[in-house]
Amino acid sequence: MRPILLSGHERALTQIKYNPDGDLLFSVSKDQQICVWYSHNGERLGTYKGHQGAIWTVDVDPTSTFIASGSADNTIRLWEIKTGRCLKTWDFPTAVKRVEFSEDGRQLLGVTEKRMGHLGTIVVLDVILEVDAEQSDERALTIVCDESKATVAGWSYLNKYIIAGHEDGSVSQYDAKTGELLDNVPVHELNMQVTDLQWSPDRTYFITASKDKTARLMAARDLEPLKTYVTDTPLNSACITPKKDYVILGGGQAAMDVTTTAARQGKFEARFYHKIFEDEIGRVRGHFGPLNTVAADPTGKGYASGGEDGYVRIHHFDKGYFDFKYEVERERERENRL
């Protein structure tokens, strides 16, 4: 497997995202550029210029027409993918740490930081899926997180719930229509922040990554914990691979903590766990710093990782990846054939 290295950013990556067809890869970093790449060969298609601060998050709409980005300059911006044009800027009192389009692309949620007397909020914006349409300034919904600020959030299946991960390690479920808090479950260790939340392809379950060195798979409907993946390093990101039943976890000792730990060799790796058996089945090394973000190609052919070292690495899986099966899986296949 030969990774493609993308060196379009000058600072640490914060999020990378594939579009639904898996041919484009969007990357944002703490330098104020959004880059879009062709995932098959690593060619850069363009950059989106306009943000005045570190960009924390990016998301693609289901039709691959728009992207939304959230930044430390207290704005969410909507861009046209094809031309790099900024279509709309929404202003907020604090930095935006997470954006995500709903399943149909008509709504956009943003998670704002708790700072300067403002509480952390989750806002929902209506988006008109036309390039030249006048986007509304109005917030369709504002959820205030008064207990612990939300760090990540996402839309469940059919836009029924908004699931948010919090700084205190809990995960909550909100009604996406009314913004009512339906449930709050302490999933990760107390005060170990949830660093990432990514969905299964059908959005019925999701994976959370946390600083408590575990990743958890949970059902969106009732927040039932399904699986736990235990690692030996704080996690920054986790994703679920389509086609094969694996999860990819990324993490590593944060640079500021390196001096306080003894041997941290070999922790800057993407770890592959079997989604069902919870075993670690492989690692991919390559980054020189912690992995801040991992993303699985929706077509299942590869994955990409973005690190604190400023590089994005796109990997296309070899045949061995697709052929790997547990002995029990093989046995069952044999039985089914008979």
Partner 1 sequence: MASKNRDWADDDEGDDVAVELPPPQTIQNKDGTKTTITYRYNENGQKVKTTRRIRLVTHREVVNPRVAERKTWKKFGLSEKDGAGPQMDTTSVGENIIFRLSTNWRKDTKEEAKDPNANAMKEKLKDKTVKCRICNGEHFTARCPYKDTMAPVGAEGGSADVAAGMGDEPAPNAAGAAGAGKKGSYVPPALRGDRGAAGGERMGGGKYGSERDDLATLRVTNVSEMAEEQELRDMFERFGRVTRVFLAKDRETGLAKGFAFISFADRSDAVKACNKMDGYGFKHLILRVEFAKKAA
- Residues forming the site for partner 1 (CB under 8 A): 1-8, 21, 23-24, 33, 37-38, 41-49, 64, 82-84, 246, 272, 279-286, 313, 315, 317-318, 320-321, 324, 326
| Nearest distance, CB of residue 284 and partner 1, angstroms | 6
Residue closer to partner 1, measured from CB, 53 or 282: 282
| Nearest distance, CB of residue 1 and partner 1, angstroms | 5
Cα 203 to Cα 218: distance, rounded to the nearest angstrom: 11
Give me the phi and psi of 92, to 5 degrees please.
-135, 165
Residue closer to partner 1, measured from CB, 19 or 112: 19
Cα 175 to Cα 162: distance, rounded to the nearest angstrom: 6
DSSP labels, 216-265: EEEETTT--EEEEEE-SS-EEEEEE-SSSSEEEEEE---GGGGGGSS--T
Residue closer to partner 1, measured from CB, 18 or 199: 18
Residue closer to partner 1, measured from CB, 42 or 165: 42
Residue closer to partner 1, measured from CB, 22 or 179: 22
305 bridge partner residues: 294, 313
| Nearest distance, CB of residue 282 and partner 1, angstroms | 5
Three-class secondary structure of residue 322 per DSSP:
helix
| Nearest distance, CB of residue 67 and partner 1, angstroms | 13
Q: Taking Cα atoms as reference points, which of 64, 78, 83, 170 lies closest to residue 126?
A: 78
Residues 6+ apart with CB under 8 A from 225: 185, 187, 216, 217, 218
| Nearest distance, CB of residue 24 and partner 1, angstroms | 7
| Nearest distance, CB of residue 281 and partner 1, angstroms | 5
Residue closer to partner 1, measured from CB, 37 or 205: 37
Cα 35 to Cα 54: distance, rounded to the nearest angstrom: 13
